[in-house]
Amino acid sequence: MWSDLPQPAGKVTTPLKDKRIDSGAVCSWISSRTNMVARLQTFSFIMKTVQRKVSLQADETTLTEVQFGPMKLLKDPLQVLLVFAKEDSQSNGFCWACEKANFRCSMARTPESALECFLEKHHDLVIIDHRHSRHFDAEALCRSIRAVNSAENTVIVAVVKRPDREEASVMPLINAGFNRRYVENANMMACYNELLQLEHGEVRAQFKLRAGNAIFTALEQSQEAIEITSEDQVIQYVNPAYESIMGYQQGELIGKEIIEVPKSEKNKPDLLETINSCIRKGKEWQGIYYAKKKNGDSIQQNVKITPVIGQGGKIRHYVSINRPLNDNNKSDKSSERVQAESQTDIQSSKHKDRRKGSLDVRSTTSRGSDGSSQRRHSSMARIHSMTIEAPITKVINIINAAQESSPMPVAEALDRVLEILRTTELYSPQLGTKDEDPHTNDLVGGLMTDGLRRLSGNEYIFSTKQPHHLPSHLTTPLSLNDIPPRIAQTMENEDSWDFDIFNLEAATMKRPLTYLGLKIFSRFGVCEFLNCPEATLRSWLQVIEANYHSSNSYHNSSHAADVLHATAYFLCKERVKQSLDPIDEVAALIAATVHDVDHPGRTNSFLCNAGSELAILYNDTAVLESHHAALAFQITTRDDKCNIFKNIERNEYRTLRQAIIDMVLATEMTKHFEHVNKFVNSINKPLAAVEENGGNGDEESVKSILTSPENRILVKRMLIKCADISNPCRPLELCIEWAGRISEEYFAQTDEEKRQGLPVVMPVFDRNTCSIPKSQISFIDYFITDMFDAWDAFADLPNLMQHLDNNFKYWKGLDERKLHSLRPPPE
């Protein structure tokens, strides 16, 4: 009977245990014991099931493609084995569900036929009736299936009775090898839903695990030495190439700690400490390293160590890829120089934030010197025959030519340079994983992307508000001199960086832009430059301010006034004045005033996901910034009463318009790093080189750098970008207020996304769980620090950098106390 089936030695405690039985013995046992009547009953039942007409049309649920890391796996329709001793409503329910889901279904009535069928087809999913022990022992059947070698990745489900009283433990089922249980429910849709959940859950996970065999096969065949260690740096795997190169057998290394393996004395004393310091922070390390073979010889290797994030968002493994350098006879001095350069790179980033590590270069595939040289020569001949060359093509040609006569380490380094240059995102650093820093990832996702694909059926349409007339409720000052004394007093120190915009907001009843604009535009002589009356400027400021949404907690006219104030402050800096012409200054002030006009209080990603009218109009590209610029000119030119451009010459207007549009578009965050890097490379570094050289022609060289048309554009972009996100550089109380306002706006967006069923762009900005200090730390680390370092080097802003340092320490202090709020609780 069933009890004399071949059983595996020992109790199976997990479905992944590799228990083997003699399949030949099993098959001969089956052939001698198979019940022919049961077979005929099974065949008859399957035929009836196939012939049954189902009124509902089958859903297209067959999974044909599964993503497993970078691998794309093609998957056949699911193979399901149902083991039920008798036909009943439950077995019929699962048969119907398999047919509806387009799964390939087999039915077995006895343990013998079940095992025989499984050995033939190796099903992905087995469902065993565990309700009636008098028919067969379901747990014994599960153990026997698990004992088959191919069952390692099969999902097995037990159908159990609905409990009468107390819920029973599932441990006996798990010990027998079941993955999960299904409490009997013959409802067809319940069975169908269970199959879908199994397919997209346990079955898919097991399918990916099965694909892992291909990955290990690749590791075994690789000619590069590969070593995998645990988070505690215990060796877990080395491939045959590692054994061949280092002279060790796998068994001599597995389970040993890295520190137990002999080290070469040729490495610099602090190199290992430097490597460990780098990789423990989640950064990849690459450089030259001497390893000690089993026979005591040292071998020089190009090593890349990559931390792998696993459970809990923590580093769980380190993967080391080691490639021996071809010429081991080169002088130690040369290799030490390269090694020192690797150390210098690491040391230079030691005090920077974690994200700097993501900028490490990626290595290319290994290459032999002869074949690569020949390949490069052939490629170069084709490239040089091209008649049209883009600048990047010229750069690649120069690097390719340099590789021809370079030693191997330099040639390989240049290969990595070429790999970076051929990517499309030259200016955007790579982030760590979502689990490493969810705040930074969400900020980048929300601010630097155009959203996910729009979801059909979940469209949320924004109607663009475009008032045509001046609102009648606004109090119109007759002139700058007629500003009420209380408001005038509030603006007395508007030329100071510590100017409190919130005092002005309160004094003007949330309309600070008109009053501050009148004073700043007067100070810079904007009316004289534009040849427009002050009344026209006043009307223009009022209608622009009226098109800001006072209901927004952050993107309102107070933010516009704050950016205008920062812009005016930067324009007074000596270096900026040397670089820009009067028309640039006027363009900057106007751009700051209009840069967020009619902002809906939602990000570009939200608008794209919601399928808003604006996103459709601007093709999901720089949606809000394009709208701000376009609407500003529509409002301005629609009515002569507020058309500040009416009296300037056509060519001057075109120049001014282009500059304003360029600056407003520069506030879009997708090109943040491009703008910053271009500013550093085109302005900061050349100026620093001139200052270092000293000697003749300094003034002319500086003037040439500052006033070239291309660099003036870069200065204006950097100026308005810094003004737009300067909140972390304001005095602490102002910084805290702005942080609270932007957080509230992001909270409101998350609430809206959940209500509308849209993708949540920034999940960390959930008002119930968000840590505002963490979000500010991430924002400063990722966007602010480098940009203001570059701007300070140009414009000399020590007070701003001191505020930035103080504010960062403030947020860090709150975070270290595990506080999520803007301020610490009262003592």
Residue 436 near residue 308, CB atoms below 8 Å: no
Structure tokens at 386: 């091209």
Contacts (Cβ under 8 Å, ≥6 apart) of 532: 643, 644, 645, 646, 647
- In angstroms, the Cα distances linking 468 to 496, 525, 634, 641 are 35, 27, 10, 12
What angle is formed at CA 340 by the lines to CA 338 and CA 341, rounded to 5 degrees? 65
**Which 8-state DSSP code applies to residue 150?**
G
627 classed as catalytic = no
Q: Is 47 helix (H, G, I), strand (E, B) or coil?
A: helix
Residue type, 54: V
Structure tokens at 127: 């469902």
Instruction: Tell me how far apart the alpha carbons of residues 240 and 112 are, in angstroms, rounded to a whole number.
Output: 42
Torsions phi, psi for 340 (to 5 deg)? -65, -40
Q: Burial of 639 by CB count in 10 Å (0-12 exposed, 13-18 middle, 19+ buried)?
A: middle
Residue 316 near residue 309, CB atoms below 8 Å: yes
- In angstroms, the Cα distances linking 28 to 115, 116, 564, 743 are 12, 10, 87, 70
Residues in binding site for AMP: 555-559, 596, 724, 776
What angle is formed at CA 71 by the lines to CA 221 and CA 19, rounded to 5 degrees? 65
Q: What does the CA dihedral 392, 665, 527, 715 come to, rounded to 10 degrees? A: -40
> Residue 416, CB half-sphere, CA atoms under 13 Å: how many?
15
Q: Could you say which of 555, 565, 627, 672 is catalytic?
A: 555
Compute how many other C-beta atoms are within 10 angstroms of the C-beta atom of residue 392: 11
Instruction: Tell me how far apart the alpha carbons of residues 627 and 623 are, in angstroms, rounded to a whole number.
Output: 6
- In angstroms, the Cα distances linking 108 to 127, 551, 626 are 10, 66, 65
Residues in binding site for Zn(2+): 559, 595-596, 724
Question: What are the catalytic residues?
Answer: 555
